Every structure is written in structure tokens, then in C-alpha cells.
Amino acid sequence: DAGITQSPRYKITETGRQVTLMCHQTWSHSYMFWYRQDLGHGLRLIYYSAAADITDKGEVPDGYVVSRSKTENFPLTLESATRSQTSVYFCASRGTSGPETQYFGPGTRLLVL
Amino acid sequence: AQKVTQAQTEISVVEKEDVTLDCVYETRDTTYYLFWYKQPPSGELVFLIRRNSFDEQNEISGRYSWNFQKSTSSFNFTITASQVVDSAVYFCALSAIDSGGGADGLTFGKGTHLIIQP
């Protein structure tokens, strides 16, 4: 029972580079979410997706791009990484049957130099 | 806009003491969900409880209990007889309810760092 996985778990990159963070879930959940966690801010929603090919912005979407070609995958791309995007990124998913809870992946720790 | 406030940035207690973590929220929605998540030092986020705005019953699960009061927009979390393993960051979160009855994107508080000293 793999659940929800994220890769890589740790990433160091340089300013201006493109970085893609992967999220994969085995529950066939329709909804998937990306959050970032920063000291003093808690977790903030970046993007979410209600189904394949349906995505929408959250609270802090600037500088990020998402896609959802398959239900099980929800990659997050930083097109040109900036130091302010140094953070811990969490992916989450939930089903569509009533009051489903969001379950989180283990997180990706990203450092932008 | 939704907002969740966890005024206690850090709490330190001695093992076996009871401790309450406060959560106050703001929303214009008449129906919503409230959650508590635990983040231990290992970093993962562990779901603890979900409560919908229709249900103001308090809940107890072992040493954990939750007090939801709609009148004061609060959803407080109490740990009875705390243990060192309870040391973690605890997040309160709020979501709207979408047309399918599911939880929308979560709005988190900034978290309370709970330290249980042996």
C-alpha cells in the first residue's frame, strides 16, 4: 500500500533553473493538492486539481506550473527557481465520496541557492 | 477569505501534564470542515481529526479530546496526561465544503510547537 509518494525527497538547485517535483498516489483519488511550508507561515496552498486536466490556483501560485495528464500524477514545476521558493513542499490527495480527508505525502525539501 | 489563528507559537510542559492547544478560525461559509494535523520531528503530516460545522459534539479519542464551539469560532485540542511522544508541531486547518460534499483546499494556522519534557 504505497499511498502517496513524492520525489525527490531532497533537492538542491540554483537560481534560474527549472525544477520539477513529482507526486504520485495509488488511491485513484480525484483531488490532488500542492502546499508549501515555511517557518512563520504554516502551510499554504499553491495549486490543486479536481481531476485529470483540471487545475486551479491556490493562495500562492506565482512562479509555479502544474499539470495533470494522469489521475495518479500531479507534478509541480518551478520554471525559474528563486531563493524565495526554498521551502518544504507537500502533496496531498483526497477522494470524492463525501467528506473525504486530505492525506499528505512525505514532503520534498527544496533548497534554491 | 478564511483565516486560522493559532496564537500559541510554542508550549512547553512536563510529562503527564494536561495541555490545550487553541485554534480560532474565521470564515464566511456557513458550512465548513475543521481539521487537526500533527507534524512530528520526522516531518510528515499526520491526520488527527475532521469535524464538520454541523456537528458541535466534542470528541474524545484516548488521551486526545477536541472542543468545537461554533459560537466562539474555536476548535481547541486537549492532550491529557501528555507523553514525550506527543512532542510535535500541531496544525489546525479549515476548508470550505464543495458541491460534492468534499473538503476544498485547506487553510492552515501557523502551528503550535508542543514540547513535552520528561
More confident position, B61 or A107: A107
8 Å CB contact of B105 and A48: yes
Positive/negative CA dihedral, A69, A45, B98, A106: positive
Count interface pairs A-B at CB distance under 8 A: 62
Q: Residue B62 is which amino acid?
A: G
Q: Is the pLDDT of residue B7 over 90?
A: yes
Q: Residue B17 is which amino acid?
A: E
CA distance A15 to A13: 7
Q: Considering chain A, what is the average pLDDT of its residues?
A: 92
* Percent residues over pLDDT 90 in chain B: 73
Q: Are B112 and B10 in contact (CB under 8 A)?
A: yes
**A44, A96, A103 ranked by CB distance to B102: nearest:** A96
φ, ψ dihedrals at B2, nearest 5°: -100, 150
Residue entry with cell 504505497: A2
Helices (H) and strands (E) counted in chain A, each on its own, are 0, 11
Q: Is the pLDDT of residue B104 over 80?
A: no
Chain A residue nearest residue B102, CA to CA: A99
Report chain A residues whose CB lies below 8 A from the CB of B37: 104
* DSSP structural state of residue A83: G
- Top residue of A29, A43, A103 to mutate, by most chain B CBs within 10 Å, is A43
Does B45 lie at the interface with A, CB-CB under 8 angstroms?
yes
* DSSP structural state of residue A59: S
pLDDT score recorded for residue A90: 97
Torsion of the alpha carbons at B78, B96, A103 and A23, rounded to the nearest 10 = -140
Task: Quick: pLDDT tens for B36-91.
Answer: 999 999 999 999 998 888 888 888 889 999 999 999 999 999 999 999 999 999 99
Rounded average pLDDT over A81-104? 87
